[in-house]
Amino acid sequence: MVLVPGLASSARIYAPVIPALWRFGPVMVANHIRDDSMSAIARRVLSEAPRRFALAGHSMGGYIALEVMRQASERVTRLALINTQARPDTPEATERRRGVMARAKRGELRAAREEMFPELVHPSRRDDAKIRQLVHDQGDDVGVEGYLRQQTAIIARVDSRPTLATIKCPTLVLTGDQDNTIPNALSKEMAEGIAGARLVVLGNCGHLPQPEQPEATARALVEWVSS
């Protein structure tokens, strides 16, 4: 099993669900901070992954997972797309990203992440110190240079909607009911575009289902990997 984190996110994001998944076989968390294009990141993931594997991607990790499917779908036994989307960046999103990248270069990445935190979680968790600390610890794991490479890759990503219909493996699309970063309407769009995909919308959940709803997220992923 290969798990891919999101933007400014590290292996820590999957810590709440790995024990449940580990019972079904080895679990690898991909390192996605060393390249600055989706194609290069996907190639590196494939070079380090087992010959055949189940693949889950969260947020940016979903963009990477969709690129992996384009490059080597025959190696992926099942796919999970977590709080992500198939669409390319909008001009407005790219402009916002470039603004945060400029702040990161000025040493303000932590401050920027702090300002964005309320949009990452369900409104009921905006004062959750544990999840806030997790966000900052992951930012430290990724580092400024890794973050800049990630944003560069995200900005240039392709539109994955045309290739959704080519996905033939069992697919889970997981999202939160109040994801203010990637609205769940975009998850529903993906699920409708992938034949046989199962859509799960977690209640009382924002963009970070693993720490926000660990038990429900683990249940959905266990059902996905064991069905």
Q: What are the mean pLDDT values of the chain's consecutive 10-residue runs (227 residues total)?
A: 98 98 97 98 98 98 98 98 98 97 96 96 97 97 98 98 98 97 97 98 98 98 95
pLDDT at 227: 84
pLDDT at 142: 97
User: Does pTM surpass 0.85?
Assistant: yes
Domain 2-89+153-226 part of CATH 3.40.190.10: no
pLDDT at 54: 98
pLDDT at 81: 98
Per-domain boundaries in the chain = 2-89+153-226
List the structure tokens of 73: 């779908």
pLDDT at 146: 98
pLDDT at 105: 97
